[in-house]
Amino acid sequence: MIGQLNIEQIKEFLHTHTLGRIGCSHEGKPYVVPLNYVYDGNHIICHSLPGKKIEIMRINPQVCFEVDEMTDFTHWRSAILQAQYQELTEERERLAAMKLFVDRMMRLKVSETAILPEMAENRVHPRSPGHIKPIIFRLLIQDMTGRYEK
- For residue 82, being part of any structural domain is answered with yes
| Residue 134 domain flag | yes
For residue 118, tell me if it sits in a domain: yes
- Confidence (pLDDT) at 72: 94
What is the domain range of residue 139? 2-144
Domains in the chain, number = 1
Identify the bridge partners of residue 149 per DSSP, sorted by sequence position: 2, 76
Instruction: Tell me if 97 is assigned to some domain.
Output: yes
What pTM was estimated for this model as a whole? Answer: 0.81
Per-residue pLDDT of the chain in tens (150 residues, 90 and over written 9): 999 999 999 999 999 999 999 999 999 999 999 999 999 999 999 999 999 999 999 999 999 999 999 999 999 999 999 999 999 999 999 989 988 877 876 655 555 555 544 444 455 555 555 566 789 999 999 999 999 999
H or E element, residue 34: strand 29-36
125, part of any domain = yes
Residue 1: per-residue pLDDT = 93
The H or E element containing residue 55 is helix 52-59
User: Is there a domain that residue 81 lies in?
Assistant: yes
CATH value at residue 137: 2.30.110.10
> Would 149 be classed as within a structural domain?
no
